Amino acid sequence: LGYFRPPFKAVYADYIAYEQYRHKFMNEDHARAALLRGGILWQLALHSLGFNNLPSALIGISRDAVPFGQMLTINGETHFDDELSEEEVDFICGTYYVYTNNRCIEKLSWWPRPQAWAGSGLDVGFWSARCKSWLQTHLENV
């Protein structure tokens, strides 16, 4: 969502703008890869797309899968699928890049990035009641 100098503090209006950008991005064909990743990316994608659009997102690969996606070789056959870049993952999670006083970059995000989600204890392989509760509480605190 951009690079900023300290002191930087995102506000609610920033969150609303981020959600609008995320909803627009999720309408890109290859963004279906967020649904395939599961976890928090799946939930954020689902929030943007809604259940009504879920079947069309799962139909198959986008036109971008061959030049930009991942190539898989299974039993000697080559297959392609959509994949998100690290920048796209950061964008979906609502990440801001903030320069620190020692000239490093700190990543601040509205939502945990997949690595943090995987280590949180909430990543149990499905979207549990505990995940729903956490999400609702997190949304209320935005």
Cα–Cα distance, 60 to 88 (Å, whole number):
20
Contact 62, 82 (CB under 8 A): yes
Q: For residue 52, is pLDDT > 90?
A: no
pLDDT tens column, 17-44: 999 999 999 887 767 788 888 899 989 9
As a dihedral over the C-alpha atoms of residue 96, residue 101, residue 104, residue 110, rounded to 10 degrees, the angle is -20
The amino acid at 34: A
Three-class HEC string of 53-66 = HHHHHCCCCCCCHH
More confident residue, 53 or 93: 93
Q: What is the mean pLDDT of the chain?
A: 84
